[in-house]
Structure 1
Amino acid sequence: MTIFPADDPDKLPFAGILPAATKPFILGEGKGEKSLVFDQLFEILLTGDETDDQYGAWTMKAPRGDRIPAHIHLKTHEIFYVVDGEISVWMDDQADYHSKTTLVTGDFAYVPAGIVHAFKIENTTKVFGVGTAGFERFFHAIGEKTDATEPQGVYVPDFSVLRAAGEKYATIFMPEFPFKD
């Protein structure tokens, strides 16, 4: 049973791109479900629909940019694997674990549910991500659908959109969180 909505309307504009069933498939480069969030292109490669609600997978491509707002996922475990580039990741458990690490090509980070985190793209970067099933649609909820294969332009969601997506996907934005650098 998924911890996120199985009948999620955020997947409707993308119907037919992924099989929406647990069967083998191949997805060509740039052929997943894509949304632009700020200046980052998220491409959903696999969802809870294909994995019996086990996990979802995506890529994120972005140019150098500002640090995204600190946030915490209450139900989602998330990984980052740097396919190419450089990304700084801040993590804080609000107790005794505080880190800022710059990941480069081949580096990996794990962010368990309940950890405050943020990231900043240091130069043009591609990251492979995996998270708790259903969460992958969060990027659609806050982004703008696109057919682009590279990040193009900037889409800034209205704060009401961020808040609604945060409530739906158990994410709390904490832009004033004081990371210990």
Structure 2
Amino acid sequence: MSLDEATSTTHPHAGILPGKPAPFFLAPGGGEKSVVFDTLFTVLLTGDETNGQYDVFTCDGNAGQIIPAHVHLDTNEIFFITNGAVHVWMDDENGFKRDEVLTPGGFGYVPQGVIHAFRIESADSRILGVSTAGFGRFFHEMGKATDKPGIPAPDEFFAPSIEQMMSAGQAHGTIFRPDYSFLDD
């Protein structure tokens, strides 16, 4: 189903995924896609398909800016790098404060309540993400729906307004921390 066909139902991505626990396949580049800043986020599974257990998504981009520091109140998140390099920062504010540049096969786990940020460090990078169910569609609320796979071209970049970011954050238990910078360390 194209994005245009899906738009005629409840949300721009309706009908791309089954919306219930059922076996299915996606072709390369398939899934619910949204551009957030200069990055493509593709939701492959949601809690609708996993009986409320987890979401799976990818994040594709080139070297860019750091994603703002933020905290997920109820979401655990996994970063697994399949291509390129991604710098991940974490601070649990209880003694664990580290950052790593992850390359293919590199893995990072961010439990709920941990301040974190990331920055894609090289061209053609991909993160495979897994999160607590219900979080994956945060990217859709933060971004602009697209049906085009691959890393967005500069004319496809989408910068959400502060209001859109705050609304997405509120809907998905995410608090942005403009008071916190990993780059000042």
TM-score (norm: length of structure 1): 0.91
Distance 1:16 1:99 in 2: 40
Note the alpha carbon deviations across 1:157-180, whole angstroms, 9 max, x for none: 000000111111000001231437
What is the aligned-residue RMSD (CA, Å)? 1.1
Stretch deviating more after TM superposition (15-24 or 33-42): 15-24
Q: Which amino acid aligns with 1:177?
A: Y
- Look up the equivalent residue of 1:127 and give its one-letter code: I
**1:25 — aligned with what?**
24
Give the % identical residues: 47
How many correspondences in the alignment?
171
Aligned counterpart, 1:120: 119
What is the CA–CA distance in structure 1 between the aligned matches of 2:178 and 2:118, rounded to whole Å?
12
Counterpart code for 2:168: A
Q: Deviations over 1:91-116 (max 9, x none)?
A: 00012000011000110100000000
Give, in whole Å, the separation in 2 of the partners of 1:176 and 1:66: 17
Report the counterpart of residue 141 of structure 2 in structure 1: 141
Would you say 1:174 and 2:170 are equivalent positions? Answer: no
**Partner in structure 2 of residue 7 of structure 1:** none
Instruction: State the shift of 1:15 in Å.
Output: 1.1
Matched ranges for 1:152-167 at <5 A: 152=152, 153-167=156-170
**SS across alignment from 1:59:** strand
Amino acid at match of 2:61: A
Residues of 2 paired with 1:31 and 1:95: CA distance?
Answer: 40
Structure 2 alignment gaps of length 5 or more: 1-9
Q: Which runs of 5+ in 1 are unaligned?
A: 1-10
2:106, 2:126 → 1: CA distance? 12
| 1:42 aligned partner, one-letter code | F
Cα distance in structure 2, aligned partners of 1:36 and 1:150: 10
- Distance in 2 of aligned mates of 1:81 and 1:92: 19
* Equivalent AA in structure 2 for residue 85 of structure 1: G
Q: State the distance in 2 between where 1:148 and 1:175 align.
A: 31
Letter in 2 for 1:104: T
Q: Which residue of 1 aligns with 2:131?
A: 131
C-alpha distance after superposition, 1:24-82 (max 9, x if no partner): 11111111000000001000000000000000000000010011100000000000000
User: Equivalent residues in 2 for 1:1-181 (5 A)?
Assistant: 12-124=11-123, 125-152=125-152, 153-179=156-182, 181=185
- How far off its partner does 1:13 sit? 1.3
**Which consecutive segments of 4 or more residues in structure 1 shift more than 4 A?**
none
C-alpha contact (below 8 Å) 2:69/2:181 kept by paired residues: no
Match of 2:84, SS?
strand
Q: Secondary structure at the match of 1:136?
A: coil
Once residues 136 and 168 of structure 2 are traced to their aligned partners in structure 1, the CA distance between those partners, rounded to angstroms, is 12
2:7 counterpart residue number: none
